[in-house]
Homo-oligomer: A and B are copies of this chain.
Amino acid sequence: MNTNNEKRATLAAIVTIGDELLIGQVVDTNSAWIAQKLNLLGIPVYRMTSVSDAPNEIAAVIDELRPVCDLIIITGGLGPTRDDKTKQTLCNYFNTHLVQNDEVLAHIERLLAKRNIPMNELNVAQAMLPETCEVLFNPLGTAAGMWLEKDNTVVVSMPGVPFEMKAIVEQNLIPKLKKNFKTQAIVHKTIITSGIAESVLAQQLNEWETSLPEHIHLAYLPSPGQVRLRLSAYGNDEHELQNEIEKISFKLNDIIPANIVAWQDEAIEVTIGKLLKDKNLTVGFAESCTGGNVAHLITSVAGSSAYFKGSVVVYSNELKNKLLNVPFEVLNQYGAVSKETVEILAKEARNLLNTDFAIAISGVAGPDGGTAEKPVGTVWFALASEKEVVAEIAHFGDDRERNIQKASIFALNLLRKHL
């Protein structure tokens, strides 16, 4: 083990294990989460790799990464069940063997007792750990993390269940990494833009982009309804980089003032939550095609009850009429997806929910229900405030999931523009 005085410079790799990844049954979210944490420590990630849980594959990927990386973080393959082969593979690789860890065994016993689950031999086996490893205690689960070393490479193995892995990283891995590794300064700044296509944005930013210093990199990250600009600065002094990147990004205010949604990488529901809270205002929704997703986004933010009291999902014409007084004549004459309908929905929702703002969304999410006049992807929005009701239309694409997502972001952005 290195002492504080001779910390190593670091390049990390992340490995996720599991056939469920390779057949696409499970999306690997662990790698991105771990990469974020390493980034905050200034430890760059060289690669992410997903491999099968076959023992020779796990050993092969460690072999490949060791010449390049000082730190290999592995998740997956540590459950109680027999499809897990990682622990034995690591023992073979590090020339050690499994021994019972009494502390871990006691923890497993306590944990299972608390959940009223009987202890069985598979759980007992989970307390068997490589003799030479340092245990990274798992406060939320039965599979412990392990820290192993070979020829100056550290291999960390953790269970794949995300919330258990996260608890191990936060509580036990990060402090240990800080103690053992040298870290370089990396500062990122992300600016969220909307209402401008990636290629147009790139052309408008061309001069500014060309003037960036060599140690600052720019990336364009498009997603439904927005393009994020990410600046990354590499150097020694975090504080200096922070100042530099702020100064450079601030120039965007002169180039694309109307397109900047946020000066940091935060979801629009977070941005809006802050604005509403600051101004002591409330919002509610009348959702048709978004089916509750806008309310879900708003309430995914802790503390949202300060500005969100409730919402209605009026999927049928019957409920548009019964809950929000849209006359059947309006629904018949103009349709549920119309300026007329959303304006009434927004105005009535504002009254019903007793909020400062109400947003109504009604559209054709697809895949069915489109017409020549209103094809799939057509969505009407209205915002009602004390002083006005405004409506907007948008034309999205053919994909139901994306249409719901885009319409939700559009609705929140409509609110943002009025805050």
| A236 CB to nearest chain B CB (Å) | 19
Instruction: Assess whether B316 is in contact with A305, with CB atoms less than 8 Å apart.
Output: yes
| Complex: A301 Cα to B115 Cα, angstroms | 34
Chain B residues with Cβ below 8 Å from A265 are 25
Is A142 close to B, CB under 8 A? yes
Whose C-beta in chain B lies nearest to the C-beta of A12?
B22
A24 with B35: in contact, given A81-B199, A319-B353 (CB under 8 Å)?
A: yes
Instruction: Report the stretch among A256-264, A382-390, A398-406 that lies at the interface.
Output: A398-406
Chain B residues with Cβ below 8 Å from A172 are none
| A390 CB to nearest chain B CB (Å) | 22
User: Which of B35, B47, B295 is the one whose CB lies under 8 Å from A291?
Assistant: B295
Instruction: Tell me which residues from 177 to 200 in chain A have a Cβ below 8 Å from any Cβ of chain B.
Output: 188, 190, 197-200
Instruction: Tell me which residues from 2 to 54 in chain A have a Cβ below 8 Å from any Cβ of chain B.
Output: 18-29, 31-39, 44-52
User: Which of B49, B295, B296, B353 is the one whose CB lies under 8 Å from A48?
Assistant: B49
Instruction: Assess whether A209 is in contact with B79, with CB atoms less than 8 Å apart.
Output: no
A32 with B27: in contact, given A20-B221, A81-B202, A199-B117 (CB under 8 Å)?
A: yes
| Complex: A24 Cα to B217 Cα, angstroms | 16
Instruction: Assess whether A122 is in contact with B83, with CB atoms less than 8 Å apart.
Output: no
Instruction: Assess whether A122 is in contact with B202, with CB atoms less than 8 Å apart.
Output: yes
| A195 CB to nearest chain B CB (Å) | 12
Instruction: Assess whether B310 is in contact with A220, with CB atoms less than 8 Å apart.
Output: no
| Complex: A223 Cα to B115 Cα, angstroms | 17
Instruction: Assess whether A203 is in contact with B31, with CB atoms less than 8 Å apart.
Output: no
Chain B residues with Cβ below 8 Å from A309 are 315-316, 318-319
Q: How many copies does the complex hold?
A: 2
User: Which of B24, B28, B311 is the one whose CB lies under 8 Å from A313?
Assistant: B311
Whose C-beta in chain B lies nearest to the C-beta of A309?
B316
Chain B residues with Cβ below 8 Å from A33 are 24
Instruction: Assess whether B25 is in contact with A221, with CB atoms less than 8 Å apart.
Output: yes
Is A175 close to B, CB under 8 A? no
Instruction: Assess whether B83 is in contact with A219, with CB atoms less than 8 Å apart.
Output: yes
A310 with B312: in contact, given A32-B21, A47-B51, A230-B25 (CB under 8 Å)?
A: yes
Is A101 close to B, CB under 8 A? no
A319 with B310: in contact, given A31-B50, A49-B47, A163-B397 (CB under 8 Å)?
A: yes
Residue-wise, chain A 112-142 has the 8 Å CB interface mask toward B (1 for contact) of 1001011011110000000000000000101
Chain B residues with Cβ below 8 Å from A293 are 292, 296, 299
Instruction: Assess whether B20 is in contact with A219, with CB atoms less than 8 Å apart.
Output: yes
| A286 CB to nearest chain B CB (Å) | 10
Whose C-beta in chain B lies nearest to the C-beta of A126?
B199
Chain B residues with Cβ below 8 Å from A402 are 163
Is A323 close to B, CB under 8 A? yes
Chain B residues with Cβ below 8 Å from A31 are 21, 24, 28, 50
User: Which of B22, B36, B399 is the one whose CB lies under 8 Å from A45?
Assistant: B22
| Complex: A296 Cα to B52 Cα, angstroms | 34
Residue-wise, chain A 315-333 has the 8 Å CB interface mask toward B (1 for contact) of 1101100110000000000
Instruction: Assess whether A23 is in contact with B50, with CB atoms less than 8 Å apart.
Output: no
Residues of A within 8 A of B (CB): 18-29, 31-39, 44-52, 61, 64, 79-83, 112, 115, 117-118, 120-123, 140, 142, 161, 163, 188, 190, 197-200, 202-203, 209, 217-222, 230, 232, 265, 287, 290-296, 298-300, 302-305, 308-316, 318-319, 322-323, 352-354, 366-368, 397, 399-402, 404
User: Known contacts A23-B39, A80-B202, A300-B404; can you find 12 more A-B pairs with CB under 8 A?
Assistant: A21-B32, A26-B32, A27-B32, A47-B61, A79-B222, A82-B202, A83-B217, A291-B300, A299-B315, A300-B400, A304-B315, A310-B312
